[in-house]
């Protein structure tokens, strides 16, 4: 273990991760997050950072030195990747240095397994999420508010009727969908959407019984969670759903981007910029971390996030997320109960204008990201591979890349990133969603007005 960690640190140091000297090529041109769909963010220069809500908490290292390797798919004797990172151009924020070796710009790795990409279906207008029904059929959402059932061969149902209307402006609309853990008995499906409200909008989670058939519909729609407060913003409401094996439901939220929302990201009286955890009927689990604070929203699991568009469980059933950061500040985090991930007080990025946001990327009482990207990938969608079709990819993290137009693969060891790959870059498509199918293939959605459902299988 210790030898491994040491080897890792030495390898990381040799590879010169972080703060590379600028070179004249290789840098990906910067695109605004979500270019093409999303209005550019306001540049809130001069944001006053919120006071820490739980000062006195000891910052925790994201390294798990001293615990056994958790990455069962990687043989401990396998040498760690070394060499230059994917990004060799200058970072946006060269003055911020990583908190530990390997926190950014891990060595580039290349998959040895040959794979093919099959286009299962197309013609989805900005599709957002996939969830698997029995018999490998899929639910597919599109941002404007439609939900389809798609067969493994790519045949699409008519749009499912009975869903509530959505506010589809900006980043809003119908977002994630999940099949309930008791679907076989209850027929329940769950989804997130920007809910139009008096005085603005907000993310909501609904569930309903799916009535399958030639003209599918949902019945008995129940809104089980409403992000509060209501605010007029078309941006940063998060929206990923993750069920855990103990029957709880994580919902990832954003801070609405505008200043009035951003300053609430570390405030436990607000849902903005939080991971929340609820029961499938919307009630609050009695072991949630903020229940002893009468001022806090009881659904909160973790605070200090910007806009969480990627979330998945690992083989130990722990939640991992990727946050859409500002320019130069996308973050991989593993949110733990009651912890503060620092936005907007700390971070590695800057405003799109180039104006500073943070005095420092590190601070007391706030967690460091496991990994960050500068320049950004613009993440959306995430899966941690557990299938058998790609043994090489076991326990690797896959993230959709919007502005980066890639499927991002992270090789992990001891909860740290030791290698990074950009797949599918030749396709030049924005990747909105990545999920693992029941047979171990990866399924993707491209973000476009003619969005595609793609499948990756070994060749």
In the complex, which residues of this chain contact Ca ion (CB under 5 A)? 341-342
Nearer to Ca ion, 55 or 184 (CB): 55
What phi and psi, each to the nearest 5 degrees, are found at residue 361?
Answer: -80, -5
Catalytic residue among 236, 271, 305, 358: 236
Residue 84, C-beta contacts closer than 8 angstroms, at least 6 positions apart = 15, 16, 107, 108
Cα–Cα nearest to 167, from 234, 242, 246, 119: 234
Least distance from C-beta 305 to Ca ion, angstroms? Answer: 7
| Residue that is written with structure tokens 């509530």 in the block | 164
Nearer to Ca ion, 345 or 380 (CB): 345
Least distance from C-beta 329 to Ca ion, angstroms? Answer: 8
Nearer to Ca ion, 139 or 370 (CB): 370
Separation of alpha carbons 34 and 447, rounded Å:
9
Nearer to Ca ion, 341 or 371 (CB): 341
Active site residue 271: no
Least distance from C-beta 326 to Ca ion, angstroms? Answer: 11
What phi and psi, each to the nearest 5 degrees, are found at residue 8?
Answer: -60, -45
Angle at alpha carbon of residue 288, lines to 337 and 177, rounded to 5°:
85
Structure tokens of 60? 């925790």
Nearer to Ca ion, 324 or 424 (CB): 324
State the distance between the two ends of the chain, measured CA to CA, in whole angstroms: 35
Range 386-410 burial, b when 16+ CB lie within 10 A, else e: bbebbeebbbbbbbbbbbbbbbbbb
Check: CB of residue 203 under 8 Å from CB of residue 166: no
Least distance from C-beta 342 to Ca ion, angstroms? Answer: 4
Structure tokens of 295? 């001022």
Cα–Cα nearest to 381, from 68, 113, 206, 140: 140
Least distance from C-beta 331 to Ca ion, angstroms? Answer: 5
Distances (CA, A) of 172 to 257, 327, 399, 402, 434: 13, 21, 20, 16, 19
Q: How far is CA 191 from the centre of its chain?
A: 16
Nearer to Ca ion, 23 or 95 (CB): 95
Nearer to Ca ion, 145 or 335 (CB): 335
Angle at alpha carbon of residue 383, lines to 280 and 310, rounded to 5°:
70
Least distance from C-beta 200 to Ca ion, angstroms? Answer: 26
Separation of alpha carbons 216 and 212, rounded Å:
5
3-state SS assignment for residue 2? helix
Nearer to Ca ion, 148 or 341 (CB): 341
Least distance from C-beta 160 to Ca ion, angstroms? Answer: 36
Separation of alpha carbons 375 and 364, rounded Å:
25
Least distance from C-beta 371 to Ca ion, angstroms? Answer: 11
Tell me how many helices (H) and strands (E) the chain has. Answer: 3, 23
Residues noted as catalytic = 236
């Amino acid at each position: 273990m210790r030898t491994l960690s040491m080897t890792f640190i030495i390898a990381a140091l040799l590879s010169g991760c972080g703060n590379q000297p600028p070179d004249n090529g290789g840098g990906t041109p910067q695109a605004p997050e979500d270019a093409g769909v999303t209005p550019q963010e306001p540049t809130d220069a001069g944001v006053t950072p919120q006071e820490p809500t739980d000062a006195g908490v000891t910052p925790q290292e994201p390294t798990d030195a001293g615990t056994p390797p958790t990455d069962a798919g990687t043989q401990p004797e396998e040498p760690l990747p070394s060499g230059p990172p994917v990004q060799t151009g200058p970072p946006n924020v060269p003055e911020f240095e990583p908190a530990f070796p390997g926190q950014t710009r891990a060595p580039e790795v290349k998959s040895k397994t040959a794979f093919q990409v099959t286009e299962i279906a197309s013609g989805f207008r900005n599709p957002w999420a996939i969830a698997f029904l029995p018999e490998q059929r899929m639910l597919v959402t599109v941002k404007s508010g439609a939900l389809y059932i798609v067969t493994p061969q790519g045949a699409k149902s008519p749009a499912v009727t009975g869903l509530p209307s959505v506010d589809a402006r900006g980043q809003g609309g119908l977002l994630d969908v999940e099949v309930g853990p008791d679907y076989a008995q209850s027929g329940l499906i769950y989804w997130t959407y920007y809910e139009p409200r008096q005085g603005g909008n907000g993310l909501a989670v609904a569930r309903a019984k799916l009535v399958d058939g030639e003209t599918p519909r949902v019945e008995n729609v129940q809104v089980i969670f409403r992000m509060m407060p209501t605010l007029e913003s078309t941006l940063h409401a998060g929206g990923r759903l993750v069920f855990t094996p103990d029957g709880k439901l994580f919902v990832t939220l954003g801070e609405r981007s505008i200043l009035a929302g951003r300053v609430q990201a570390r405030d436990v009286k607000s849902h903005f910029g939080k991971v929340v955890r609820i029961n499938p009927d919307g009630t609050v689990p009695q072991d949630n971390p903020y229940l002893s604070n009468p001022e806090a929203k009881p659904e909160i699991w973790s605070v200090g996030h910007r806009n969480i568009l990627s979330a998945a469980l690992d083989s130990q059933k722990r939640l991992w997320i990727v946050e859409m950061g500002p320019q130069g500040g996308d973050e991989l985090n593993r949110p733990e109960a009651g912890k503060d991930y620092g936005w907007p007080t700390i971070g590695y990025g800057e405003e799109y204008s180039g104006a500073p946001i943070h005095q420092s990327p590190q601070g007391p009482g706030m967690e460091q990201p496991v990994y960050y990207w500068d320049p950004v990938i613009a993440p959306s969608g995430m899966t941690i591979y557990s299938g058998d079709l790609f043994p090489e990819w076991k326990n690797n993290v896959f993230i959709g890349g919007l502005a980066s137009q890639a499927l991002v693969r992270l090789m992990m060891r001891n909860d740290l990133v030791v290698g990074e790959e950009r797949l599918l870059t030749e396709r030049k498509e924005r990747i909105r969603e990545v999920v693992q199918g029941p047979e171990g293939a990866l399924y993707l959605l491209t973000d476009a007005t003619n969005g595609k459902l793609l499948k990756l299988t070994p060749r």
